[in-house]
Structure 1
Amino acid sequence: MKLLRSLAIPKFVIVIAFLYALYYPFLYLVLYAIFFVLIPLRSLYPAYVTNEDYNALTYLKSLPQGHALSSPEIGYFLPFLTDKFSLLGSVEHTLDYYEKFNDYKKFFSVTTTHDERRKILKKYRIDYVFQGYKESSISHGWLKLGAADGLELIFNNKGARIYRVSIDTRSSY
């Protein structure tokens, strides 16, 4: 206390410094929780899949190993539920995410030609295409994919479809 008196620091400054020392770590923790915990959690994909999607993913698990094209939301779960590689997942875990995301949107667009779809399948060496609600929202309805796109329908329920790529995607394009 003699040291504080000898420095001639007013008591209210000491009290403010003490409160600030208590408050600052608390403020730091609150800001950390808001910006690094709560906000990222809100941006995560939903922690569920529909029954139709789950049934389709279960079927996909029974197929040989390969790469699958799907929405990022399904792609987030696809490796865990099917043991297949997903073209898209979370932004943090997908290399060249935005390029792949644009190709995904282009693939499911109604304005994309059959040749452009085939090029996308070859570019990423896709073996399976998952078409569910999210994928259909890009084309504003169920996109009619088929042999002209290099695809064969192998699973269909009211909410999801799985196509096997019927062209050789392993050769260079």
Structure 2
Amino acid sequence: MSLDKYKRMTDEEFKSLTDEEFEEYIKLKEEDFPRHYREIGEITVNTILTPEEAIEIAIEYHKEHGLDGTVNKVIENLYFDEAYTFRVDMINRDNDDIRPAWRVTVDLPPNPFSVEDYTLIVSDRDKAVMGMLDPNGQPVREGKEFTDEDIEYIMSEEDPEGYND
């Protein structure tokens, strides 16, 4: 049995799984999970980039985009994802863009708003940073980040003048 049958399900079909089917899905997901967090010594596929090259690509991207924090250069802290999902095709899940990627952590200095590190996703095939994960492991999308004004509004108990205009 594989996860493929679950990928082809609609949301409604997935919601109507029996308890046994859902337990099977959970078991398959748990078995699949290690593919997404391989340490350097656990990689079972041929890679295009070396760990050092993946870190260097992340460093260059980090500099070019003026991002906060410091790219973690410790190779032992680098993870490899054999099947990172770069894009989901909700109409036909067989068309999802899934390929190998390196997960490079960026360490942040202590900050009252951002207390955890984030991750740069380096596509092994493209030899480029193709995305970013927030501290919760969720993809950061263009235009979805909080601005300083958003954070100030969230942290205050008042509505700053002109914020909602």
TM-score bracket, normalised by the shorter chain, equals under 0.3
TM-score normalised by the chain length of structure 1: 0.23
- Structure with the larger helix share: 1
- Structure with the larger strand share: 2
Q: Greater relative contact order (Cα 8 A, min sep 6): structure 1 or 2?
A: 1
TM-score normalised by the chain length of structure 2: 0.23
From the CA coordinates, give the structure whose radius of gyration is larger.
1
